Amino acid sequence: MTVPWLTLLGLVPLIGAGALLLPVKELARYLGMFFALLTAVAAIVITGMQLGGATLAEQVPWMPTFGAWWALNLDGMGLVMVLLTVALTPVVLLAEWKLESVGRWTPQAFVALVLLLESLSIYTFLAADVLLFYLFFEATLIPMYFLIGGFGGPQRAYAAMKFLLFSLAGGLVMLISVVGIYVYSYRLLGVPSYLLADLMKLTMPTDVGRWLMVGFLVAFIVKAPMVPVHTWLPTATEQSTPGTSVLLVGILDKIGTFGMIKFCLGLFPEASTWVAPVMVAMALVSILYGAIAAIGSTDLLRLIAYTSVSHFGFMVLGIYTFTTAGISGSIFYMVNHGFSTAALFLVVGMLIARRGSSKVADFGGVQKVAPVLAGFLLLAGLSGLALPGMSSFVSEFMVMAGAWSRQPWVAALAALGTVLAAVYIMRMYQRTMTGPVTDGVAERFTHDASMREKWVVAPLVAVILLLGFLPNLALGVIQPTTEQTLSHVGVTDPVAPLGEEGK
Amino acid sequence: MIAPTFEWFELAPVLVVLAGACLGVVLEAVLPQSRRFGVQLILTIGTLLIAMGFLAWNFKSGSAGLLAMRAVSLDGVTYLVWASLLVFGLLSLMVFGERKLTNGVSAFAASAASVPGSPAEAEAVAAHHEHTEVFPLALFSLAGMMVFAAANDLITAFIALEVMSLPLYLLAGMARRRRLLSQEAALKYFLLGSLASAFFLFGMALIYGYSGSFEYAGIDLGIANPIYGRGLLLTGSVLMAVGLLFKIGAVPFHNWVPDVYVGAPTPVTGFMAICVKLAAVAATVRFFYVALGAERWSWQPVMAAVAALTMVVGVLLALTQTDIKRLLAYSSVSHAGFVLVAVTGASVANTADSRYSIAAIVFYLLAYGFATVASFAVVTMVRNSAGEASDLTSWAGLGRKNPLLAGAFAVLMLSFAGIPLTGGFIGKWEVFTAAWQGGYSWLVVVAIVASLIAAYVYLKVIVAMFFSEEAEGVVVGNASLLTLVPIATGALASIYLGLFPGPVIDLVTAFSVFFR
């Protein structure tokens, strides 16, 4: 009897969510934090086992008639995404420690939903069965829907509905492909199977493979919001609490790019190379459009949402360069973006909590009254614009290098996005933090960052700097996934991978 | 002339239900008014439990075959449908017995025959009269459904259809509140229902004319060795399809559904929405697969078109509703469409493909049934001073008044919408795979679009319950276990079917076999 470690990992936060159904009242936050930290510890133990070479894959029949399995597996990409998830969850809980009740929507409900979301996200990243993945992919929408709709701004019900309908629309298009996979696995294998390992061996007819791939891709494009289906993101982040936005942008949206690599490239290699030019073009549009929209934003939360649209463009670009540097960079980008956007959202959340408004125009001169908070914003912002020394620099550079090796002009256009990033971050910082102290700010900013707030930002900044100086900590884990993916797709690098030019 | 045979044991589940109904009629005559309600309720529940016992006994002893001179087929599908009918019948008839919620009176009229608002009616209300006949009536109807789903020849099917329908026409007119609306519903249902029966009957005659047989196997034989041209067959099957699709509530024969569902007492609506649909779908599938399986190239495209139309029209009309009962009525129309999607998927009886199709149909109806039974029971609990508050605005803020009930209803809505981790999702996905497997991938695309619109419909209800200000003057009634048990069962079953569908799917697939 082997221990199902991966199942247990997802079960820990689920049990936590279940425990929070009890009337624990004041203890809810502590209980939630306990389970979030316990999950993090469990994830670290599992990381140790995985890196130690233990086989963690699990496979139990679930719907045998339809070839669906409870199959979990952990690869390099899955591992970093799980670590990102378990790291951000306690940070979010700490950041939202002071959340106030909105009617029945108590902090207890918030904590329970966050833990439920953590559990479902972990299973999404671990699923090694297409139907299982689809199930959790869609199931994550439910807690997120209630997180957006229950806590936040006055338009939150509308924002929640918009988020859900966009995601459901994408998800249902993917469902067509999931159904199609059943039909074709049945025809080609003789027995239906949803196991990723079985499906990767199939050679689909070219047309069918392309159609099915498009189904998956639509869902992932909506999820990793790319222009033109990104409009739900700014609305959602504007209306929800910063903690929710972190979970949404930092973790959930990553399922989009994660899915592109694991499912689009993994199941339909031919179709993925076929669609690459379109995806590169869309990525470039997202990079530039997101950056320009961020410059034009008057609302801090919308601004961060648009920077994310731009960053997701980089991630997608990296994937569809089909180079070692590009794909590794893209996966690394997912991690870094998770931490740096979390830092941005949470610091901005602290500012908004004091000022009572998220409009850029309502700030000014904060640096003078709250220097620590201003410093935090600067750090988070610099990470967002990929300053060397920050981890995001490494990944952005890798994506560009990958793009350059395929088509230099693509890299050149993408580089424009980096320039614009400097504009939107520094402009935001300048307009909110520097200059004369406005009346509103002087009145409302009675205290600088509290101890709790420092503890929220500290781990994020620590990770950003650590990975900035020692990127190989993460890249070493990511590299095998990249190599596997590339050899599966059957492409080789046009130039030697980074760091191996001389060999 | 051979002596007629009758397999008493194998047919016992139906016979018990009929006997229970007859006994109920006798009790109406001999018991004093005050004792009737309790006794009828116990008799009804007892009858259904005994019938289940017989069904389980038959199942265990492995009895199967064509019974009662080949009139009724006891095959895998019959077992599945009978078991589901008895379970859903039990759950929805429990709601019939609820009296605590409505201050000690049932949901049924004191004197349905009196003119609404007349002194005679007031007198009956004052005397605390109650129509306890509803229980035997529902049992008669249920027995009709069981035979309808298992009928192996057209005459049996027609008689069963009438036994099923006639009590329902009466039941629809029994609502205590809004008497006129209820009477209108009953009359509408009766008139349109008899028209549909007439179509069915005419179709039967033409098919007999073509094949010379009422038996499904004989019709199949007639298709294989045609004597006349196919005109008679095609016309006949179209006419019969009209009758059957009317009972299912498929577009374009759906117009009675919203009016009847709204007018009828809510417990009766719950009973109709699941049990009638289940029986009618089973009968349709049996007729088309067993009798007309060889003619599938003619009817499949028509069925696909009906399915597409039913889904799209159902969800679009549900989108515009502001009354929860009407919304659920149109939602039930759209669900009929989703079921028909699987009907097109399969071809002949007993091939591997058709097994998946039938399994998909049965599973979908199970998931739909649990959600339907429970959601109509929830509708009876949300009340204002005038009775049930079925307007959607009254449901605003229900999540604050009673989070548990609203949570259960949200689960049911998610299951209707086909969101993963609920039975509704697995059902939809099975139906889609069945249709694609049968070569109808375009129908899957239409179904997906319909699902998206449907999701919006159900989310609107969730938004109203959880994200809106509380409505004034609306309370969640204090219900007895007779209402709470069906709600809890429905919600838990919806989740169970979503998380652990494996065993149920295996069971359903193994038993999706027709006899001929």
**A440: number of Cβ within 10 Å:** 16
Residue B1 has pLDDT above 70, yes or no: no
Angle at B361 between CA B501 and CA A186, to 5 degrees: 70
A158 in contact with B, Cβ within 8 Å: no
- Asked if pLDDT for residue B345 goes beyond 80, the answer is no
- Residue-wise pLDDT for A259-268, tens only, equals 999 999 989 9
Element spanning A321, H or E: none
In terms of phi and psi (left: phi > 0; alpha: psi -120 to 50; beta: otherwise), the region of A25 is left
> How is residue B330 written in tokens?
């149109």
- Sequence-distant (6+) residues with CB within 8 A of B61 are none
- Name the nearest CA neighbour of B138 among B328, B309, B330, B275: B275
Q: Is residue B199 predicted with pLDDT exceeding 60? A: yes
What's the pLDDT score for residue B475? 86
Worst-scoring range by mean pLDDT, B46-55, B100-109, B205-214, B382-391? B100-109
Q: Using 50, 70 and 90 to split pLDDT, how confident is the model at A501?
A: low
What is the pLDDT, as a whole number, of residue A186? 86
CB–CB contact B437 A186 (8 Å): yes
Please give the helix or strand (H or E) that residue A58 lies within, else none. Answer: strand A58-63
Within 10 angstroms of residue B128's Cβ, the number of other Cβ atoms is 11
Q: Which of A142, A157, A175 sits opposite B467 (nearest CB)?
A: A157
Under the banding of pLDDT at 50, 70 and 90, the label for residue B284 is: very high
Residue where the block lists tokens 């029966």: B197
Give chain A positions within 8 Å (CB) of B505: 63, 65-66
Contact A135 B403 (CB under 8 A): no
pLDDT of B416 higher than 90: yes
pLDDT at A498: 61
Q: CA nearest B435: which of B287, B254, B286, B301?
A: B301
Q: What ipTM does this complex have? A: 0.85
Residue A500: pLDDT band with limits 50, 70, 90: low
How confident is the prediction for chain B on average, in pLDDT?
90
Asked if B400 and A169 come within 8 Å (Cβ–Cβ), the reply is no
Q: Output b/e per residue, B479-509; b: 16+ Cβ within 10 A.
A: beebbbbbbebbbebbbebbeebbebbbbbb
Q: Are B424 and B414 in contact (CB under 8 A)?
A: yes
* Secondary structure letter of residue B115 according to DSSP: P
SS (H, E, C) A240-276: ECHHHHHHHHHHHCHHHHHHHHHHHHHHCHHHHHHHH
Of the ranges A409-413, B140-144, B354-358, the best mean pLDDT one: B140-144
DSSP label of B470: P
A396 band by pLDDT with thresholds 50, 70 and 90: very high
Q: Which residue has the higher pLDDT, B107 or A403?
A: A403
The nearest CA of chain B is from the CA of A37 a distance in Å of: 26
How far apart, in whole angstroms, are the C-alpha atoms of residue B365 and residue A32?
A: 39
Please tell me the predicted confidence (pLDDT) of residue A22.
84
Q: If DSSP codes are grouped into helix, strand and coil, which group holds residue A196?
A: helix
Closest CA to A320 of A402, A441, A242: A402
Token reading at B403? 């989070």
Residue B108 has pLDDT above 90, yes or no: no
Beta strand B382-384 with B387-388: parallel, antiparallel or unpaired? antiparallel
Residue from the list B445, B463, B501 with its beta carbon closest to the beta carbon of A176: B445
A103 interfaces chain B, CB cutoff of 8 Å: yes
Rounded to a whole number of angstroms, the distance between the first and last alpha carbons of chain A is 46
Best interface-test mutation with B: which of A63, A102, A166, A214 has the largest number of B CBs within 10 A? A63
What pLDDT is recorded for position B350? 54
Is residue A8 a contact partner of residue A84, using CB atoms and an 8 Å limit?
A: no
Residue of A nearest to B423 (CA): A135
pLDDT value, residue B103: 77
Q: Which amino acid belongs to residue B79?
A: Y
Query: Looking at the predicted structure, is the pLDDT value of residue B176 above 90?
Result: no
CB contact under 8 A, A65 and B506: yes
CB contact under 8 A, B433 and A156: no
pLDDT single digits (tens) A211-269: 999 999 999 999 988 988 999 999 999 999 999 999 999 999 999 999 999 999 989 99
Average pLDDT over residues B158-174: 94
Specify the residue for token string 């509408």: B188
The number of beta carbons lying within 10 Å of the beta carbon of residue A188 is: 16
- pLDDT on residue A261: 92
Nearest C-alpha of chain A: how many angstroms from B486? Answer: 23
| Residue of A7, A11, A65 to mutate for B, most B C-beta atoms under 10 A | A65
- Report whether pLDDT(A440) > 90: no
Task: Summarize the confidence of residues B476-499 as an average pLDDT.
Answer: 93
Q: pLDDT at position B129, please?
A: 83
Using CA atoms in the order A151, A152, A158, A159, what is the torsion angle rounded to 10 degrees? -100
Report the share of chain A in percent with pLDDT over 70: 98
Residue type, B206: L
Nearest to A169 among B359, B452, B466 (CB): B452
Burial B4-30 (b: 16+ CB within 10 A, else e): eeebeebbbbbbbbbbbbebbeebbee
Q: Say yes or no to pLDDT of B169 above 90.
A: yes
B275: nearest Cα among B171, B156, B413, B415? B171
B346 confidence band (pLDDT: 50, 70, 90): low
CA distance B53 to chain A (A): 29
Mutate to test the interface with A, among B448, B468, B494 (most CBs of A within 10 A): B448
- CA atoms within 13 Å, Cβ hemisphere of B60: 6
**Residue A57 forms contact with B (CB below 8 Å):** no
Q: How far apart are CA A176 and CA B429, in angstroms?
A: 9
Tell me the one-letter amino acid at A449. Answer: A
pTM (2 d.p.) = 0.91
Is pLDDT of B349 > 60? no
Terminal Cα-to-Cα distance of chain B (whole angstroms)? 23
CB–CB of A65 and B359 under 8 A? yes
- Select from A449, A442, A464, A304 the least CA-distant residue to A379: A464
Contact A179 B433 (CB under 8 A): yes
Evaluate if residue A106 carries a pLDDT over 70: yes
* 8 Å CB contact between B133 and B109: no
Are A149 and B466 within 8 A, CB to CB?
yes
Task: Check B448 against A138: CB less than 8 A apart.
Answer: no
Which positions in chain B touch A240 (Cβ < 8 Å)?
A: none
Quick one: average pLDDT of B271-294? 92
Q: Which of A103, A136, A179 sits opposite B429 (nearest CB)?
A: A179
Ranges A55-59, A68-72, A276-280: which has the least confidence: A55-59
Task: Report the residue from B400, B425, B433 with minimal CB separation from A104.
Answer: B400
Quick one: closest CA in A to B450, which residue? Answer: A172
Name the β-bridge partners of A152.
A240
Q: What is the pLDDT at residue A107?
A: 86
Cβ contact A104–B420 (<8 Å): no
3-state helix, strand, coil in chain B (%, to 5): 75, 5, 20
Interface of A with B in 199-228 (CB under 8 A): none
- Spatial separation of the C-alpha atoms in residues A409 and A324, rounded to whole Å: 19
- Name the percent of chain B lying above pLDDT 70: 98
**How does pLDDT run across B445-472, given as a tens digit for each residue?**
999 999 999 999 998 899 889 888 888 8
Question: What is the predicted pLDDT for the residue at A326?
Answer: 92
pLDDT tens sequence across B207-266: 999 998 999 999 999 888 888 788 899 999 999 999 999 999 998 999 999 999 999 999
Largest CA distance in chain B: 74
User: For B423-449, how does the pLDDT look when each residue is reduced to its tens digit (9 = 90+)?
Assistant: 999 999 999 988 888 888 899 999 999
